[in-house]
Amino acid sequence: MALQALSRRLRQAPCPHIFRISTLPSVSPRSSPCYRQLRRSLSGAFRRTPCDRSQCSHPSCLRSFSVQIGGDPVVFPERQAAESDSREATVIELLRRVALLPTEAEAMESLRTDGIVPNGGLVHSVVWALREEWRLAFLAFKWGDEWGCIDEKVLGLMTWVLGSHGKFSIAWCLIRDSHRSSVDTRQAMLVMIDRYAAANNPAKAIWTFHVMEKFRTAPDEEAYCALLTALCKNGNIEEAEEFMFLNKKLFPLETESFNIILNGWSNVTVDVLEAKRIWREMSRCCITPNATSYTHMICCFSKVSNLFDSLRLYDEMKKRGWVPGLEVYNSLIYVLTRENCFSKALKMLEKLKEAGLQPNHATYDSMIRPLCEAKKLDEARAVLSSMIGDDIQPTIETYHSFLEVTDFEGTLEVLSIMRKAGVGPTGDTFLLVLEKFFKLNQVENSLRIWVEMRQYEIVPVAAHYLKVVHGLATSGFLIKAKEIYSEMRAKGFLDDPKLKKLLYRTARRKKDRRERHAGEDENGVGANIKKGTKSR
């Protein structure tokens, strides 16, 4: 309820008009109406526990409160190299404790009197550690602001956290107040573009690009490419392409911008027809493809098993003087193996080494995956041995390729190897295995894997329960399906109406079938049980 009240009050706050910078007086951020509104709005949120351990460990609580953030904040490549402060754990525990206080003012006062003096590195690392709990992260940000520790790096990270949780109104308030206190907001604006695109709101991402100049931040070539990249990597490739052509007077068409669009069609959606169209469009606009352009196209052709065009572009690339990189060789190795040219794939591996490149796990996975799909397990195992012999550690994806095609005994063997190698198995691994055996209609093996999960200390989550119950129900094991479904509900997982309906319908069909068969004799003749007569 506090969160709903916060959202309601923020919508009523003056924050939507944050871009009328020229009409605003130059005042301290803490004296601004937006800042005071945020303080009043957030004070109610401190009456509830932001992340109580006993509650948030419960799956149903995690479903409604915690947000699993996927991907990296693209503008924070150095976040792992941020200052490592031994006080980080102490500060996080302190934040969890003060968040239980009735008001935000009391929480901030408790932080002031605790004796810890933060710096920019500490605030940055604490906000990153709390990235899935935006309230606590925001409290850490405000604590840093009290001590004057907020710079463009911390502002950018906090903006990313808020945007990842859909709290764009609060993020804009921070950007506005930071701008008024002369903090560089350029990085934060680029983050907003990225987060709007990730939230499938390309119009807002483009709008953010256009209003950058309101914050005395010129939307230059870097921001232009950042916008195109954000749109394309989140599937809004048509919008990115349209934006590129509409703004060609401000940002002339160049190879780099075309490559971003080409990468979107080639590697995000893998639409070979659209990729070919962009390739032709580059020629029509007199844009010369470079090594990156060829790499994108070769990767696209390899993914759709187009061996001829992959090799043709590879030869053309070399003739034009571009040096193929590791990604090109990995793509060629993959398509050669998939198209039953394994010996030529091994020769391509040798060419890779002769070119002075070092194969990585993706190189060997490019052979192992198609070999496993073709059920050529002996060759796949040989490649795995070569991979380990080259001192390259197999990844969890490497073992998953084997798990998708091995029988039950082979599956147990791979799971054991994964544990010994320290690369799993994880919950996703068991989801893959359960789905495999249900597809093969090997229900007993699925149930054995369900039991085996506990041996690997994997705690089933909702996805595991839903997979098992659905598989059992559709395979006719209704009693066991209802038993596991009851266990799922007892553990606090949310009810699934579709699954419940499936269990009910399947049970009703079985009952109708039994009643129908009860009225037939051994010759299939219908019997009227009440009257004792037969009918045909």
Q: Residues 487-536: pLDDT tens digits?
A: 888 888 877 777 777 776 654 555 555 544 444 444 444 444 344 444 43
Distance CA 227, CA 193 (A): 6
Q: So what's the pLDDT on residue 238?
A: 94
Q: What is the pTM of this model?
A: 0.73
CB neighbour class for 201 (10 Å; exposed up to 12, middle 13-18, buried from 19): middle
Q: Can you tell me the mean pLDDT for 26-31?
A: 37
Whether residue 366 is predicted with pLDDT greater than 50 in this model: the reply is yes
Distance CA 173, CA 168 (A): 9
Distance CA 6, CA 116 (A): 29
Tokens of 59: 């799956």
Q: So what's the pLDDT on residue 26?
A: 32
Q: What is the pLDDT of residues 80-131, one digit of tens each?
A: 444 445 677 888 888 888 777 777 777 777 777 776 777 878 888 889 988 8
The pLDDT > 90 percentage for the chain reads 40
Whether residue 10 is predicted with pLDDT greater than 80 in this model: the reply is no
What confidence tier does 140 reach under pLDDT thresholds 50, 70, 90? confident
Q: So what's the pLDDT on residue 93?
A: 82
Q: So what's the pLDDT on residue 3?
A: 38
Mean pLDDT for all residues in the chain: 78
Q: So what's the pLDDT on residue 239?
A: 94
What confidence tier does 204 reach under pLDDT thresholds 50, 70, 90? very high
Q: So what's the pLDDT on residue 30?
A: 41
User: Which residues have CB under 8 Å from 186's CB, separation 6+?
Assistant: 152, 212, 215, 217, 223
Q: What is the pLDDT of residues 147-184, one digit of tens each?
A: 887 888 999 999 999 999 999 999 999 999 888 888 88
Whether residue 54 is predicted with pLDDT greater than 50 in this model: the reply is no
Q: So what's the pLDDT on residue 431?
A: 92
Closest to 87 in 3D by CA, of 105, 111, 108: 111
Share in percent of the chain as helix, strand, coil (round to 5) = 70, 0, 30
Q: Are 266 and 295 in contact (CB under 8 A)?
A: no
Q: 405 vs 239, 400, 417, CA distance in Å?
A: 40, 9, 16
Distance CA 105, CA 411 (A): 57
Q: Are 328 and 295 in contact (CB under 8 A)?
A: yes
Q: Can you tell me the mean pLDDT for 5-27?
A: 36
Cα atoms in the 13 Å half-sphere on the side-chain side of 322: 18
Q: 380 vs 330, 352, 504, CA distance in Å?
A: 16, 20, 44
Whether residue 261 is predicted with pLDDT greater than 90 in this model: the reply is yes
Q: So what's the pLDDT on residue 258?
A: 94
Residue, of 534 and 420, whose pLDDT is higher: 420
Q: Can you say how many angstroms the Cα of residue 48 is from the centroid of all Cα atoms in its chain?
A: 29
**Long-range contacts made by residues 341-350, C-beta under 8 angstroms, separation at least 24?**
341/307, 342/367, 342/371, 342/376, 342/379
Whether residue 466 is predicted with pLDDT greater than 70 in this model: the reply is yes
Cis bond before residue 425 (omega within 30° of 0): yes
Q: So what's the pLDDT on residue 117?
A: 75
Tokens of 250: 């401000």
Angle between helices 33-43 and 2-12 (to 10 degrees): 160
User: Dihedral of CA 432/436/439/444: which sign?
Assistant: negative
Q: What is the pLDDT of residues 281-322, one digit of tens each?
A: 999 999 999 999 999 999 999 999 999 999 999 999 999 999
User: Which residues have CB under 8 Å from 405's CB, separation 6+?
Assistant: 372, 373, 375, 377
Q: What secondary structure does DSSP assign to 451-513, as a single string?
A: HHHHHTTPPP-HHHHHHHHHHHHHTT-HHHHHHHHHHHHHTTPPP-HHHHHHHHHHHHHHHHH
Distance CA 237, CA 472 (A): 40
Which of 13-17, 174-178, 216-220 comes out lowest in average pLDDT?
13-17
Closest to 442 in 3D by CA, of 411, 414, 401: 411
